[in-house]
Amino acid sequence: MDFDNSKPIYLQIVDVFYENILVKKWQEGERIPSVREIAVMVEVNPNTAIRAFTYLQEQEVIYNKRGIGYFVSENGYNKVLDIKRKEFMEDLLPDIFKKMRLLDIKFEEVKDSFNQYLNNIDHENK
C-alpha cells in the first residue's frame, strides 16, 4: 500500500476499512481480517495496525469477539456513512467553497456538473 505523508498511517488504514464497508465488501456482522493479516496486507508494523483496530472499535464500527476475531458492527455501515458524511461536510466542503469563491465558480455551474455526472452514471448502469 502506498501511504501519503499528510495523515498518520493508522488513519489511512482506517480509511481502507471505511471504503471496504461502504462498498459492502465487508458486510455488517461479517468477520474481517486479523490484525496481522492487515499488517501484512498493507506492509506495516502490527503495532500500527492495532492502533487502527482500536480506533475503529472506539468509533463502534467494528467489535472484538474474544478469541475469534474482529467483526463489522451490526449498524457498522450506517456508522461509517455518518462518519464519512460528517468528514465531507466539515472538512472537504469548506475547502471546495473556498476554491469556488477564489475561482468565482457559481453554485449553478456545480449543480449542472453534478446532474450531468448523475446522468452518466445512470447511463453506464443501464
Partner 1 sequence: MIQIKDLRFYYPKSKIILDNITLDFAPGNIYGLFGKNGEGKSTLMKIMTGLLFPKAGYYRVLGKDISGRNVKCLQEIFMVPEDFELPRLKISTYEQVNSPFYPKFSRDQFYKLIEEFKLSADENISTLSFGNKKKVLIAFGIATNTKLLLMDEPTNGLDIPSKSQFRKIMALAVDEGKCIIISTHQVRDLHSLINHVVILDQSKVAFNQPLSNISEYLWFGKPMRDEKESIIYSETSFGGKAMLFRQDRDETEVDLELLFNAVLSESNKINNALNTFHDGTI
Q: What is the contact surface with partner 1 in residues (CB under 8 A)?
A: 3-9, 11, 36, 39-48
The residue behind cell 493508522 is: 10
Q: How far is the CB of 94 from partner 1 (least distance, A)?
A: 15
Residue of 45, 41, 54, 46 lying closest to 14 (CA atoms): 54
The residue behind cell 498518520 is: 8
Question: Do 83 and 18 contact (CB within 8 A), yes or no?
Answer: yes
Phi-psi category of residue 73: left, alpha or beta, with phi > 0 → left and psi -120 to 50 → alpha: beta
Q: How far is the CB of 78 from partner 1 (least distance, A)?
A: 25
What torsion do the CA atoms of 115, 121, 123, 126 make, to the nearest 10 degrees?
-140
Q: How far is the CB of 47 from partner 1 (least distance, A)?
A: 5
Q: How far is the CB of 69 from partner 1 (least distance, A)?
A: 17
